[in-house]
Amino acid sequence: MDYFPIFMRLEGRSCLVVGGGGVALRKVSLLRKADARVTVVSPELCPQLEALAKQGAIEHVARDFQDDDVLDRVLVIAATDHQAVNQRVSALCMERSIPVNVVDQPDLCGFITPSMVDRSPLQVAISTGGSSPVLARLFRSRIESFIPAAYGGLAALVEGYRLQAKERIPDPELRRRFWERLLEGPVTELFLSGREDAAREALEQALEQGLDRRDTGGEVFLVGAGPGDPDLLTFRALRLMQLADVVVHDNLVSPAILELVRRDAEMIYAGKKRNQHTLPQEQINQLLVRLAKEGKRVLRLKGGDPFIFGRGGEEIDTLMQEGIPFQVVPGITAAAGCASFAGIPLTHRDYSQALVFATGHLRDGTIDLNWDMLAQPRQTVVFYMGLVGLPIICRELTAHGLPASTPAALVEQGTTQNQRVLVGTLETLPDIVQEHDVQPPTLIIVGEVVRLHERLQWFQPGTDHTTESLFSSRGQVEQQSAAPRVEASHE
């Protein structure tokens, strides 16, 4: 390797920055985060550095660089626009074995500053040896997406118990195994889910009981998988998907998302299609309890958001009654995800003053809703699970006061590469849907905001599509790529 990775303690130690512009400011900021004593040598300072100097946060030497400036420094950074000055600073430091960095000039550097993920006291440094700082930053962004901000606090918590662990478990190898087991278990999950006091208590109990302790209690992760696109998962959802021993998933969870689950996890399908319920809801509730009582970490993976037509409330009610620990991770609900990818802003101020979510699920061949409330002007109504009941929805909204010309859209498999958007009116949409062999999962949007689709559509998953004029007698259809469909739940 071209560079030896090292972390330096700079707290209270003298560091020099030569230069007073924006680049110097960035380096000064990094040094101050490490609590270094920073001296800046430059005839002039940018406004931010000048403010720091006036506050006494840095020392400013208002003149050109001189050779003696590098003396008694533990680290030097040259950040000027003058090549001769930068070369001189580098040469002087090299002669005196002082670590030196010349910004954007690797050949003059004794060390380079890496791209960093800072979860102090946990830190990750990424370097390409100066060959591609942009690539290092891109790699850092990927690492950051998998390291929640709370890991810094977790590291600080563990640091406070290192001496106790050393006294309790003197053998280094046994102590290493103890920390590995502890940090892969409930202490980490308790802390990252915001239960810091419980995490501290669990850590203290583990230290008291030592390496012989075996966790017997399980936990349930109720996770929203979003509308279908794996990129829309939250960081916490991805993390918990890798921790689960068992996955209980719905039919609405796309195969691409299931691919991200821990490879050796047991998969249990509990989805529902219309008139085909693999497991009744009551049995799902009890299944989660049983698996958790067996000591397993159970991932309950649900399409969209668990608390929006997802029956998540029923499931955690049962878990609470049984005393089962759980976490709830919100997901992007279908209304938000599908409407965004269809270019339909649900609450555009020029068209809508209210937004209503409703279920279009048929019960005994009809849909029992407050149609007077739904059939109001200047509001947007989004119907979940309404494909089969679409003719009834359009008929009832018209019967209760909405004009037959009210814009309406159906989004099929929204946010995925199989997305189709069909647009018409309350009068024409049922026929449009019937003609185009629409399959679930689908979402229905009713309201004037649908008019914006033609102008604001931005997501083009396929290359083969046709468009008819908006609100014509046949409505508008976007025919996307004919890839295999994922059928939907009719919960």
Instruction: Judge whether 272 counts as a catalytic residue.
Output: yes
Catalytic residue among 27, 69, 229, 250: 250
Distance CA 392, CA 366 (A): 8
Please tell me the number of Cα atoms within 13 Å of 479 on its side-chain side.
10
- Sign of the Cα torsion 142, 146, 148, 152 reads negative
Instruction: Indicate which residue of 272, 293, 364, 372 is catalytic.
Output: 272
Is 43 marked as a binding-site residue? yes
CA distance 442 to 412: 4
Confirm or deny that 305 is annotated as ligand binding.
yes
197 annotated to a ligand binding site: no
Question: Could you count the other beta carbons within 10 Å of the beta carbon of residue 175?
Answer: 16
250 has catalytic annotation: yes
Residue 21, annotated ligand binder?
no
Angle at 458 between CA 454 and CA 459, to 5 degrees: 115
Query: Alpha-carbon torsion 312, 317, 318, 323, what sign?
Result: positive
Closest C-alpha to 226, from 216, 217, 235: 235
303 in a known ligand binding site: yes
The DSSP letter of residue 225 is -
Flag whether 334 is marked binding. yes
Work out the number of other CB atoms within 10 angstroms of the CB of residue 364.
6
Task: Determine if residue 304 is labeled as part of a ligand binding site.
Answer: yes
Q: Which residues pair with 324 in a beta bridge?
A: none
- At 231, list the tokens: 């990129």
Q: Known binder of ligand: residue 336?
A: no
Task: Confirm whether residue 44 is marked as ligand binding.
Answer: yes
Distance CA 86, CA 102 (A): 7
Structure tokens at 156: 């600080």
Is 22 marked as binding a ligand? yes
Q: Is 441 annotated as a binding residue?
A: no
* Residues labelled as active-site residues: 250, 272
Binding-site residues for NAD(+): 22-23, 43-44
Binding-site residues: 22-23, 43-44, 227, 303-305, 308, 333-334, 385, 414
Binding-site residues for S-adenosyl-L-methionine: 227, 303-305, 308, 333-334, 385, 414
